[in-house]
């Protein structure tokens, strides 16, 4: 399942975030690449302990926490603090699969990467190339979203970012461990939740809706793990 979440940030918020990011200290992205992906990666990143990255990352997580579409589709248990990258001058990231386990810096917290996310801060017409290509059972998808939008995709997917040959592509990228590891189970719960919300609109606090809510919770109880 690949999900496009629209307008996480308003154009005004994107503008402000971009201004901060423009004056930040960008480092070679190879510094955080595993051995296998080092050769594949020619971009720049903010250090994970960069105060701006920490502040913006917290703001992203706070904003996402209030989005029902995100909470319902991702069912996050633990979220890795967002990181920030920039591709320009031919910068790219070749095909790879993300590491399965990520340790949150300076903590004992380990996160299994179930879902990967890219939150775009550059408008598609600001740069050439820079498509996020995702390959999975649903075929190959080419993702290039408006600034302020985010894509969520299974971390099991092979993916790459094509070379940016004009302008710059700036984004936040991060991972989460879901309460529901299985993509199909998580998708079913999301579908059920969406149907319940739609029925609730029409029927209000109806007994039949209440029954479906119990079904939702009982499925979630069966399929979830909180650690």
Contact by Cβ (8 Å): 129, 122: no
Contact by Cβ (8 Å): 174, 117: yes
How many helices, marked H, and strands, marked E, lie in the chain? 6, 16
183 makes contact with ligand AKG (CB under 6 A) = no
Nearer to ligand AKG, 75 or 151 (CB): 151
Given 113, 171, 177, 183, the residue binding ligand AKG (CB under 6 A): 171
Nearer to ligand AKG, 127 or 173 (CB): 173
Nearer to ligand AKG, 75 or 161 (CB): 161
Given 42, 113, 118, 183, the residue binding ligand AKG (CB under 6 A): 118
Q: Which two tokens stand for residue 213?
A: 């809510």
Q: Residue for token digits 């994107």?
A: 14
Given 63, 94, 98, 188, the residue binding ligand AKG (CB under 6 A): 98
Nearer to ligand AKG, 150 or 196 (CB): 150
Q: Residue for token digits 């940016």?
A: 164
Closest to 124 measured CA to CA, from 151, 152, 144: 144
Subset of residues 87 to 126 that bind Fe ion, contact rule: CB under 5 A: 98
Rg for the chain, CA atoms, rounded: 18
193 is in an annotated binding site: no
DSSP assignments along 51-120, one per residue: HHHHHHHHHHHHHHHT-HHHHHHH-EEEEPPPEEEEEETT--EEEE---SEEEPTTSS-EEE--EEEEEE
200 is in an annotated binding site: no
136 makes contact with Fe ion (CB under 5 A) = no
Size of the site for ligand AKG (CB under 6 A): 9
Binding site for 2-oxoglutarate, by residue number, is 169
* Residues in touch with ligand AKG (CB under 6 A): 85, 93, 98, 118, 132, 159, 161, 171, 173
Q: Which residue numbers belong to the known binding site for Fe cation?
A: 96, 98, 159
């Amino acid at each position: 399942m690949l999900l496009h979440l629209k307008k996480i940030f308003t154009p005004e918020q994107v503008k402000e975030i971009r201004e901060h990011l423009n004056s930040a200290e960008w480092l070679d992205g190879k510094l955080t690449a595993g051995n296998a992906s080092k050769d594949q990666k020619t971009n720049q990143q903010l250090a994970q302990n960069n105060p701006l990255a920490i502040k913006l990352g917290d703001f992203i997580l706070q904003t996402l926490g209030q989005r029902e579409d995100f909470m319902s589709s991702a069912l996050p248990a633990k979220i890795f603090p967002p990181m920030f990258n920039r591709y320009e001058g031919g910068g790219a990231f070749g095909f790879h699969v993300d590491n399965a386990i990520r340790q949150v810096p300076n903590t004992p917290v380990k996160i299994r990467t179930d879902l990967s996310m890219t939150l775009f801060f550059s408008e598609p017409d600001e740069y050439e190339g820079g498509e996020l290509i995702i390959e999975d059972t649903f075929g190959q998808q080419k993702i290039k979203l408006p600034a302020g939008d985010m894509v969520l995709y299974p971390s099991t997917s092979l993916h790459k970012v094509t070379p940016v040959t004009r302008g710059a592509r700036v984004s936040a990228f991060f991972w989460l461990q879901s309460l529901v590891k299985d993509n199909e189970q998580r998708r079913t719960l999301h579908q059920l939740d969406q149907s319940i919300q739609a029925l609730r609109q029409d029927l209000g606090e109806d007994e039949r809706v209440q029954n479906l809510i119990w079904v939702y919770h009982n499925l979630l109880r069966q399929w979830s793990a909180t650690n």
